[in-house]
Amino acid sequence: MDTLSATLVLFLVMDPLGNVPLFLSLMKDLAPERRRWVLVRELLIALAALFLFLLAGKPMLDVLKLDLEAVSITGGIVLFLIGLRMIFPPKDGVFGEQIGGEPFIVPMAVPGIAGPSTMAILLLMGHEHPDRTVDWSIALTLAWAATAIVLFASTALYRWLGASVLAAIEKLMGMVLIAMSVQMLLDGLAGFLARVAN
């Protein structure tokens, strides 16, 4: 896989277009200038987390005695709970009481941008071709930059969407998140069972 192919794969797995409704829902109550700052912060946190997995993911999981399947299953559980709250929002909002009324790390940076699938691909790339760390770093940076452009453009939707449309999108995205979470759980269980069988 060359650098361009790796960039494309990482961009598709980060799925910025799929994250747009989730991010719109998360930041709907923030002032426009605050939205930009929160998005920059979460993007930088996600980039740091992804570089951590690229450069030190396998040793880190080994030290913590964690398997990649456990990361996938955990991410699936978190997304499942978020999806349920998006469909049936409680009184304190979809994401509960947030520090300063805004999201922090979860679920925007992780698992929104830096999801288990992206982490798994970076772990695989770094493990199978450790001599190409510079190529993978370039690919990750380019994919992240393209994701950032898409997500920054999405904030313009606030001007065009009303509360009712945003609420409908939020519920629909909740259904999608639940489906994604179940798939992540199944992938994690399948990987675990395959490893046990061998």
Residue 46: per-residue pLDDT: 96
Query: For 122, how many CA atoms within 13 A lie in the half-sphere containing its CB?
Result: 32
Which position has the token pair 């929002």?
A: 89
Count how many domains the chain has.
1
Shortest CA distance to 151 belongs to which of 41, 17, 30, 42? 17
Residue 58: per-residue pLDDT: 74
Average pLDDT, the chain: 82
> pLDDT-based confidence at 112, cuts 50/70/90?
confident
The answer to whether residue 197 is domain-embedded is: no
The answer to whether residue 73 is domain-embedded is: yes
The answer to whether residue 195 is domain-embedded is: no
> pLDDT-based confidence at 85, cuts 50/70/90?
confident
Contact between 107 and 114 (Cβ < 8 Å): no
- Beta-bridge partner residues of 106: 104
CA distance 187 to 181: 10
More confident call, 189 vs 100: 189
The answer to whether residue 116 is domain-embedded is: yes
Domain limits for position 63 = 3-190
The answer to whether residue 168 is domain-embedded is: yes
Amino acid at 168: A
- The set of residues, in sequence order, having a beta carbon less than 8 Å from that of 10 and lying 6+ positions away, is 118, 121, 122, 139, 140, 143, 144
The answer to whether residue 196 is domain-embedded is: no
16-56: pLDDT as tens digits: 877 777 787 788 778 878 888 999 999 999 999 999 989 98
> pLDDT-based confidence at 181, cuts 50/70/90?
confident
123-178: pLDDT as tens digits: 878 877 889 999 999 999 999 999 999 899 876 766 676 667 767 777 887 787 78
